[in-house]
Amino acid sequence: MNAHPLAGQPAPSDFLVDVSKLLAAYYDGKPDPSEPNHRVSFGTSGHRGSSFRLNFNEPHILATTQAICDYRVAEGIDGPVYMGVDTHALSGPAARTALEVLAANGVEACIAPEGHFTPTPAVSFAILEHNRSHASDADGIVVTPSHNPPEDGGFKYNPPNGGPADTEITSWIETRANKLLAAGLKGVKRLAYDAALRADTTHIHDFITPYVDGLDTVLDMRTISKAGLRMGADPMGGAGIEYWPRIADRYELRIDIVNDVIDPTFSFMTLDWDGKIRMDCSSPYAMTRLVDLRSQYDIAFGND
């Protein structure tokens, strides 16, 4: 498989997504439920797509969130939903749409403060911490397409075990969501966003502090600190960007955040093997900038 001529090189400006058009397409795009490529389709625990391709638009999120609410009722899950959001352009609008449906269904929703981001492990941790001490099970939604390109959106469901939903669960949610799409969203409950944000069921949650403090229960952070390793961390513009400084401060670690930029076009990335912008920490092309810094650190991380 031949690499793109610009693989590993900075992305030219004409390779960058037009964020304003992408967001407009999220609200204006009208997917056709009879077209297979326009339907909700769960992969690794979640649905991914792009508003440009008419497979990640507001109707998809309305239908999928309502399907999750219906699944919770069917399974007797009545604890809170912990919802995390990443830095992709479509994630913010999708999270707002989801909150409108959760609030209309009377579901307790725990979200980070406006403008803050939450990586998947922090959502999983919040679910498990809740379920250790409460009779009512919590679950979660993570609005992220993971390492996918900037024009993509993603919407994942984490059941009460905190991990990715298995195929039995995702099949249930996918089937229900597509029925709602085919019915013109009849059966979807929804509030206006301002009302959803003010709802008694919506709670601002601190995801960072418990997660950072909890690291000491699974890792020997004291030994790592005493080792004095020079570490570099590249969050790749992802949801972990606020977590690395907190980890460094909490455990007195020598961590440099080598890139603290949040940019929905991800213009700071080097192109992947196929000429696409993709935040893939397993790709030597996408990780070119961090690899170039290898002589400055004992160990380096490229985790979004």
Mark whether 41 and 106 lie in a shared domain. Answer: yes
State residue 44's pLDDT score. Answer: 78
> Domain for residue 189, yes or no?
yes
Mark whether 123 and 272 lie in a shared domain. Answer: no
Mark whether 162 and 140 lie in a shared domain. Answer: yes
Helix, strand, or coil (residue 205):
coil
> Domain for residue 114, yes or no?
yes
pTM given for the model: 0.96
> Residue 48 belongs to what domain range?
18-209
Mark whether 282 and 176 lie in a shared domain. Answer: no
State residue 304's pLDDT score. Answer: 61
DSSP result, 134-162? -SSPPEEEEE--TT--TTEEEEEEE-TTS
Mark whether 167 and 248 lie in a shared domain. Answer: no
> Domain for residue 90, yes or no?
yes
CB contact at 8 A, 81 and 110: yes
To 10 degrees, what angle do helices 19-28 and 91-104 make?
A: 30
Mark whether 122 and 140 lie in a shared domain. Answer: yes
Domain count, the chain: 2
Q: What is the mean pLDDT of each run of 10 residues along the chain (304 residues)?
A: 92 97 99 98 92 99 99 99 99 99 99 97 98 98 96 98 97 98 98 99 99 97 97 94 97 96 96 94 90 91 75
Mark whether 170 and 133 lie in a shared domain. Answer: yes
Mark whether 86 and 167 lie in a shared domain. Answer: yes
Active centre residues (catalytic): 146
> Domain for residue 214, yes or no?
no
Domain boundary among 151, 184, 209: 209
State residue 301's pLDDT score. Answer: 83
Mark whether 24 and 102 lie in a shared domain. Answer: yes
Mark whether 251 and 281 lie in a shared domain. Answer: yes
State residue 143's pLDDT score. Answer: 99
Which residues make Cβ contacts (< 8 Å) with residue 7, sequence separation at least 6? 270, 271, 272, 273, 274, 275, 285
How many CB atoms are located within 10 Å of the residue 116 CB?
Answer: 16
CATH, residue 202: 3.40.120.10
Mark whether 204 and 269 lie in a shared domain. Answer: no
Question: Which residues sit opposite 47 in a β-bridge?
Answer: 42, 155
